[in-house]
Amino acid sequence: MSWISCLQVFLRPSPAGVPLNFLEERRSPFEIRGDQKVQDAPPLPGWVLAELFMHSLGLWAESFRGCNGWTGMRLLRPAMAAAVVLAICATPAAARSVDFGGQAIAVPHGWPVYRLAEHPRMCVRLDRRAVYLGTPGASQRCPADVIGRRRAILVEPGSSHRPRSSFHPLTGRNDDRAAASAQASAGVGTPGSEGKAGAEVFTGLGFDACAAPSSRAMAAWGSSPYRAIGVYVGGANRACSQPNLTTTWVGEQVAAGWHLIPTYVGLQAPTSSCGSCAKLSTSKATAQGTEAASDAAAKAQSVGIGPGSPIYFDMEAYRRTSSATAATLAFLSAWTIRLHALGYTSGAYSSSSSGIADLGRAIGSAYTLPDDIWSANWNGVRNTLDPYLPSSAWASHQRIHQYRGGHNETYGLTTINIDNDYVDGATVGARTRPALPPLTVKHVKPTAGTVSVWVRCGWPEGQTCPGQIVLRTHAKLPLRGRPGVPKRIGRIAVGHRIFALAGGKSHTFRIALDSRGQPLLRERGLLKAQLLVAIPEARATRAVRLRTHSAG
């Protein structure tokens, strides 16, 4: 063997592809350095030490086995060096902690740290090994196709930081298995056999984005050709944070005419193309499908999407093998059975050539099939035809077709990275409209001596909310007391108006300072006040600052 061949032996990577310079630290441009504190960290993981040890032994053996004379001895030195590196790495590495809101946050070694207040549009990627400090922004710029198990640490203001493991395996409970068994004979092998009571069918264009857009962005996209949007309500592999996805947001978008496609990104097929995803177990697929459905229903209800609504399981593309297909179908069957028991409509999203193909072949089998299917086939065609499904399957407005993958589109000066969908299936719309909060107050804007405020009545249609808006401030009383009379500090009304709003409707009101408030504003230049909006059994308050000539 030549010396070049021997050198290639030395440079050959380890079986797991870990180079000898894997300890090189890479820093992000946003990583915190100035306020970090050094502290002890745990030793390197066992698999890393094992790789180094086996690599050094392999180099040692190769140096004597295949090389002659001085060449082998020269390769012995790097092998011994690798052993020295192993000894050094066996000692604990230095990590750090950073201060956030007076709290010391431990940062795993090598992880970047991002202060979200400095980067309000940063996408909070839960699938990355990173520490995010602050509240995720409402206008995050996230790629549409992000997926993966949770690894990130997100510390928001006022939260007690407790490191959490990235993934907890989902296991079935006896009561769930009993419920699944009791319903196993219902609708076997028939798509949509349970019906879709309460779910509203929508036909038209839609899109899905990794993070739910802000209300402002959704309003801007009112000029787009889309009227349906996929939203990720939860799951072990949901990779984007969802600061906008709340009960209020859901109610606002449905009231504005949007149709929602609730999606749950849970455990993926054993042979999934997603390398960073948590996978389902072939031996526990039924129990895990049942547990996923229970969690999905709870997550949906937490944002105002109640029974009667559809929930689609996101099963990404996978390599079809007999065991992977069987486990995936068992999982989705249990998912459907449990959702039906909880009053929800079942949906399944997958690649046309893997999950959708397996569901198509399972028609007439012992598996309980979902009510609706959502096929990913990026052929650019705006219809719901699928080459792997017979035209008679899921034919009664039960299909969605994702016809284009992630790309940017802009409407109303607002850009979002989206996937395109043609929808002809179950959504959350007018008939499945979630209950609105009784009173919603937003967009409070003080200007000179007036305040504008957006108010919505969440009462049912056909009813009317009687209400009032009051501006209050503190002042010395009495305002026009006689000289020598002691005064006290009290709260007085300096503006008032009444209103009546129809149920489900909104309006922007303006309230001006009255004859008591205007002199106080002129005297002080800055008037600190409280805005009170009240209807029977509900009220909301906001702090406002009024200035003599500009908004405060």
- Neighbouring CB atoms inside 10 A of 311's CB total 29
Judge contact between 457 and 439, C-beta under 8 A: yes
Altogether, the residues listed in the chain come to a count of 552
Residue 315 forms beta bridges with which residues? 350
pLDDT of residue 480: 65
Whether the CB-CB separation of 21 and 85 falls below 8 Å is answered with no
CA distance 125 to 211: 10
pLDDT for 189 = 56
Give Cβ neighbours of residue 520 (< 8 Å, ≥ 6 apart): 473, 475, 494, 513, 527
- List, in order, residues 6 or more apart from 22 with CB less than 8 Å away: 48
Cα angle 174, 175, 180 (rounded to 5 degrees) comes to 95
State percent of the chain over pLDDT 90. 45
- For residue 397, report the phi and psi dihedrals to the nearest 5 degrees: 55, 55
The CATH class for the domain spanning 201-382+396-427 reads alpha beta
How high is the pLDDT of residue 68? 47
Indicate the domain borders of the chain: 3-30+37-93, 201-382+396-427, 439-547
Q: Which of 136, 205, 221 is nearest to 415 (CA)?
A: 221
CA dihedral 421, 425, 431, 436 (to 10 degrees): -40
Look over the chain and give the mean of its residue pLDDT values, rounded to a whole number: 78
Average pLDDT rounded to a whole number, residues 291-304: 93
**Greater model confidence, 339 or 5:** 339
Residues 380 and 404: their CA atoms lie apart, in Å, by 6
Q: Is 493 exposed, middle or buried (0-12, 13-18, 19+ CB in 10 A)?
A: middle
pLDDT of the residue at 551: 43
CATH number of this structure's domain 439-547: 2.60.40
Of 190-204, 493-507, 523-537, the poorest mean pLDDT is in 190-204
Residue 289 structure tokens: 């499908």
Q: Is the pLDDT of residue 163 over 70?
A: no
The arithmetic mean of pLDDT across residues 21-28, rounded, is 33
Phi, psi of 530 (to 5 degrees): -120, 130
Task: Name beta bridge partners: 470.
Answer: 496, 532
**Distance between CA 359 and CA 370 in Å, rounded?**
9
Lookup: tokens for 340:
């039906």
DSSP run (H or E) holding 447: strand 439-447
Mean pLDDT along residues 184-205: 59
In the sheet that 526-535 helps form, which strands lie side by side, from edge to edge? 488-502, 464-477, 526-535, 538-547
Angle made by CA atoms 391, 395, 396, in degrees to the nearest 5: 165
Percent over 70 (pLDDT), the chain? 72
| Overall average pLDDT of the 123-149 stretch | 81
HEC secondary structure over 511-547: EECCCCHHHHHHHHCEEEEEEEEEECCEEEEEEEEEE
What pLDDT score does 90 carry?
A: 44
Look at residue 184 and tell me whether its pLDDT is greater than 50.
Answer: no
Check if the beta carbon of residue 75 is closer than 8 Å to that of residue 63: yes
Q: How far apart are CA 198 and CA 454, in angstroms?
A: 31
Going by C-alpha positions, the residue among 321, 380, 388, 329 that lies closest to residue 353 is: 388
Q: By C-alpha distance, which of 212, 226, 335, 214 is closest to 262?
A: 212
The predicted model gives 347-374 an average pLDDT of 96
The pLDDT of residue 67 is: 44
Per-residue pLDDT band at 460 (split at 50, 70, 90): confident
Most confident of 131-145, 223-237, 535-549: 223-237
The runs of H, that is alpha helices, within 12-126 are: 46-65, 69-89
For the chain, helix (H) and strand (E) counts, in that order, are: 10, 21
Q: Please write the tens of the pLDDT for every residue from 53-98.
A: 444 445 444 444 444 444 444 444 554 554 444 444 444 444 688 8
pTM score above 0.95: no
CA dihedral 142, 146, 150, 154 (to 10 degrees): 0
Mapped onto helix, strand or coil, the DSSP state of residue 353 is helix
- Band of residue 162 on the pLDDT scale cut at 50, 70, 90: very low
Omega cis (within 30) before 478: yes
pLDDT at 267 over 80: yes
Residue 285 confidence (pLDDT) above 90: yes
Which residue has better confidence, 166 or 522?
A: 522
Contact 516, 421 (CB under 8 A): no
Q: What is the mean pLDDT of residues 505-520?
A: 91
Among the listed residues 292, 294, 295, 283, the one whose alpha carbon sits nearest the alpha carbon of residue 323: 283
pLDDT tens digits along 168-177? 333 333 333 3
Question: For residue 20, what pLDDT is reported?
Answer: 33
pLDDT one-digit tens code per residue, 207-259: 999 899 999 999 999 999 999 999 999 999 987 888 899 988 998 899 889 99
Residue 442: HSE in the Cβ half-sphere, 13 Å Cα cutoff: 11
325's enclosing H/E stretch is helix 322-341
- Tell me: the pLDDT tens digits for 397-412? 999 999 999 999 999 9
The sign of the dihedral angle between the CA atoms of 538, 544, 546, 551 is negative
The whole-number pLDDT of residue 151 equals: 76
| Mean pLDDT within 147-162 | 71
